[in-house]
Amino acid sequence: MFRSLLFIPGNNPSMIQNADVFPADGVIFDLEDSVDIKEKDNARNLIGNYLTETSTYPSMVVLRVNQVDTEFFEKDLGLLATGKIDYILLPKAGVDSLGILEEKLVEYEKQYDLSEIKVLALVESAKAIIEVFKIAKHKRVEGILLGAEDLCNDLEIGRSDEGTEILFARSRVIYACASNNIVSIDTPNTSISDEAHLRKDCLNAKNLGMKAKSAIHPNQLEIINEIFSPSKKDIEWAKDVIKLAEDNIGKGAFSYKGKMIDKPLILKAEKIIEIAKQFKIS
C-alpha cells in the first residue's frame, strides 16, 4: 500500500544519495526516459553503487528498466543482484513484454537466489489501455501506472489541464486494478510549480478511484500524500461508524447522522482506518 512514488533520474547523483530522505512512500530509480542514451551505463553504475554501498534505503525501491526490445534491458535487470530492488517498473508494458520480463525474472531469481520480484506495469499506449485487464491479471503485477504523456503522443492529441482526454484511460486502469485487487497509480503531473493545478489533478484522480500518484519532483510529494491519505474528517467518520457497528452487531443497518450505514460503508470505514494506521495518521 502506498500513496506516492517519486521518479529519480538514474544519472542524478544528488537525488540518488537523498533517496531515503524524500517523503515519498517509494522511489523509482529511472534508467529509461529521463536518461540520455549516452548516460545509460553511468546511470546504471550510480544506482548500483548506491544500492550496494549505502546503509539506508527508501522503504520501497522501484527500478524502471528500459524497454524489453533494447540493448539495455538485460543490463538493467543485472541490478537485481544487489538484492535491494522491490519492484521492476516495466515501460511500454503489454501482454507480450510482460511475458518477456517474466522469463528473465525467473532466470535472475534463480541466479541470485532472490524472492519473487514484483512488477509495476507502466501502460502508455493505446494498445496497452485496451489490454489493461489482461495486464492486471498477471501474477507478478501489483500495480499499474498510467503514462499519459506517451499515451497522448500515441493518440496524437495534446494534454489539457482538465485531463478529459485521459478520462477513458484513467477509468480503465482504475477498474482493471480494482477488479484484481492491485494498486492504480496516476500519471505524473508535469507542472512542478503550480500547486493549485497539482491539487486539482490529484483530487480528480482520487475521486475517479486512483489509489496513488507518481511524482517527478520532490516538491509535489506533500500535496500528493495529503490528498491520497484519509482526511481527519474521514478518520473521525470511520471511527464512529466502526464503534456503532460494534454496538449494533446482529441488528443490520443502522443510522448515523441521518444516513443509513450498512455493510459496504462499514467495510469502507475499516479500510480508512487500515490506511490511516499504515501511514501513522490520527
* 233-266 per-position pLDDT tens digit: 999 999 999 999 998 887 788 999 989 999 999 9
Query: On the CB side of 116, how many CA atoms lie within 13 Å of its CA?
Result: 7
| CA dihedral of residues 231, 232, 236, 238 (deg, nearest 10) | 20
Grid cell listed for 248: 449494533
* 127-142 per-position pLDDT tens digit: 999 999 999 999 999 9
Distance between CA 51 and CA 61 in Å, rounded? 9
- For residue 251, what pLDDT is reported? 77
Model-level pTM? 0.94
The chain-wide mean pLDDT, for the chain, equals 95
Could you please state the CATH topology (level 3) that the domain comprising 4-227 is classified under: TIM Barrel (3.20.20)
* 21-74 per-position pLDDT tens digit: 999 999 999 999 999 999 999 999 999 999 999 888 899 999 999 999 999 999
**Radius of gyration over every alpha carbon of the chain, rounded to an integer in angstroms:** 20
- For residue 178, what pLDDT is reported? 98
Residue 128, helix vs strand vs coil: helix
* 198-229 per-position pLDDT tens digit: 999 999 999 999 999 999 999 999 999 999 99
Within the chain, how many helices (H) and strands (E) appear?
11, 10
Structural domain boundaries in the chain: 4-227, 232-278
Percent of the chain whose pLDDT exceeds 90: 90
